[in-house]
Amino acid sequence: MGDIQWQIFAYIVSQVETPLVAAVADVLTAFLTFVVTPLRLTLVLYIALTGLLVLRGEVTETGAVLFGRLLKMILVVWLVTGAGVYQQYVYDLFFVMLPNGLAGALTSSGSVSAVSAESFDQVWLKAWRAGLEVWRTLGWSDIAEKAVVVLFWGVAILSTGFCFAIWLISRVILALYIALGPLLVPLVLFAATRAIFERWIGSLISCVILQVTTIVLLYIVLGVEQQVVGRIVVMGSVDPMVMLQVLLAGMIFFAVAAYVAFQLPAFAASLSGGLAFHTGALARAAQGAVGSTGHSRVDAQGNSHRTGRSGALGALHLAGSAGWRAAAGAGRRAATRSAPPAGRRVPFRPRCAALSPRARTRTPFHTPTPPAPCP
């Protein structure tokens, strides 16, 4: 019973991995064939129309801008329509090289030689053997102690299965994103859809980070399990309660590992979200730095105020407004100085009756005064 060699998780991966890879290859082939003709036609039309506009002198953009846009289109067409280019630079990079390379770098030195699908079976088998060593020291009447061993096995298999599910789901979702890539890569050419392409790249990196963090957690679990099993084996047939204490410590560790595994998807999404939205974040930061001049608002008393100034434009607008107010104040002060003093009266000179025909006009409610004689 102690020499049992279960390969539960390895068997699941062997049954899922091959159909998954085949399905991704079929979908990639179909989508790549679908987008080849539209992309090439778009590139030819863009070059022809741009050349026509240049000949007519209707291009307002610089040569560097046109060349950069043309180079971007050529790279996209080459990536999607080139023979095996997408498989090499996208599929192999994200699905094979990055997860396996990072896992190999992690396990190249240390007590754990390799981390793969079989490593989940190793975690469960070591937990099984640790509990079995304690079980053998118990008698038929030690029902409570045996219940603790069974509980330890249950926590171990649940924690390991949860980590395995996260790892396998991340690989399936990564394969799905890679399969949709030929339809999403051309979206980088248009400003309105470029954010979709950026989120796609962020999702790819998120899945890779999730696989790597799961492998790191599994690496730590394997190291702790080796110490737990080693301590139980060294104890031999000592007091079973001491061995149960070691199992309880392992049980708590498995519970903590399951909780950490539950947080790994959010952790990977938070890391990759910075890359997925980096262009939008930079654009928002640039817009915030440039700012705006705000807008006018009228309060309850009918006075107009400008609110919402921000950034450089807001500062320039505020400085300009302050300058205009200062100039207007100086003009009012100059006009006040040129006016006569408040105590001095300006002599009133009545208008001439000959020049003021309205003065001779009678109204029902007003009797005009006799007009003054003309000088």
Phi, psi of 231 (to 5 degrees): -65, -40
Q: What is the distance between the alpha carbons of residues 10 and 119, in angstroms, rounded to a whole number?
A: 8
Tell me which residue of 147, 121, 119, 160 sits closest to 248, measured CA to CA: 147
Question: What per-residue confidence (pLDDT) applies to 156?
Answer: 86
Q: What is the pTM of this model?
A: 0.62
The Cα–Cα gap between 74 and 57 comes to 24
The reported pLDDT for the residue numbered 85 is 85
**310 in helix, strand or coil?**
strand
Q: Is the pLDDT of residue 363 over 80?
A: no
Q: Which of 174-188, 229-243, 349-363 has the highest mean pLDDT?
A: 174-188
Say which residues have a Cβ less than 8 Å from residue 295's Cβ, sequence separation at least 6: 306, 307, 308
Question: Tens digit of pLDDT for each residue in 60-86?
Answer: 777 777 788 888 888 888 888 876 888
Q: Which residues are within 8 A (CB) of 312 and not within 5 positions of it... i.e. 6 or more apart?
A: 289, 290, 291
Q: How confident is the model at residue 282 (pLDDT cuts 50, 70, 90)?
A: very low
